[in-house]
Amino acid sequence: MRKKDKNNIINLPNILSLLRILLIPVFLLLMFQRKTLGAFLVFLAAGFTDVLDGFTARVWHLKTKLGALLDPAADKLLMTASYIVLTVPALNSPNVIPRWLTIVVISRDLLIVSSVFFAYKLRGQKSFPPSILGKICTVLQVTVILLVLFFNSIQVSSPYLNWLYLLTLTFTVFSVAHYYYLGIKIFFPPQKR
């Protein structure tokens, strides 16, 4: 990759990440107006920008330092806003994400972000590839949002969501434990014999 490409902050992936951030207030406004179908479609559009920005950054070699920060920030802001608003019973019916799941999901993200910050500051660690458990956890967390929005938009109460909540909780806790284990390896590398 050419140096000028790496420093060019105005490119398609970064614009798509910014668009995803700009869609968050639109999503929230629709939720506050109880227009669940519109909110569902906006969330889908935001998800599409996430897929597209990652694809274009890799295929067209448009990865930038700003993009490396902007993309995960956009993801975390969208997920956090979605979980919080979908936990408020007055804004959602007939399905509401349980408060305990929202607390665990947001706590996991805060723990990971703060750990990454400390690993970078104290150890100079710059690379933090997601684990398979982390990827499964993210897929489940997004699935929760999509299904709650979808079922609420068609006004169907689904008892199967409770199983999805428990599965998501399980993988969220396991992924925290796994990232904690990986963090220990960064801070306390095994001694060479």
pLDDT in tens, 100-114: 999 999 999 999 888
Contact 141, 172 (CB under 8 A): yes
Residue 4, pLDDT > 50, answer: no
What is the rounded average pLDDT of the residues 31-58?
94
**pLDDT-derived band of residue 132, with 50, 70 and 90 as boundaries?**
very high
What is the rounded average pLDDT of the residues 11-37?
96
Contact 67, 13 (CB under 8 A): yes
Residue 87, pLDDT > 80, answer: yes
pLDDT of residue 3: 45
Radius of gyration, CA atoms only, the chain:
18
Token pair, residue 26, equals 């639109």
Residue 171, pLDDT > 50, answer: yes
Distances (CA, A) of 165 to 10, 28, 180: 39, 22, 22
Percent of the chain with pLDDT over 90: 68
More confident residue, 6 or 111: 111
Mean pLDDT of the chain: 90
What is the rounded average pLDDT of the residues 143-169?
97
What is the rounded average pLDDT of the residues 155-175?
97
Distances (CA, A) of 104 to 44, 95, 100: 23, 18, 6
More confident residue, 119 or 131: 131
What is the rounded average pLDDT of the residues 155-159?
95
Strands (E), 6-148: none
**pLDDT-derived band of residue 52, with 50, 70 and 90 as boundaries?**
very high
What's the pTM value of the predicted model, to 2 decimals? 0.89
pLDDT of residue 7: 58
pLDDT of residue 2: 46
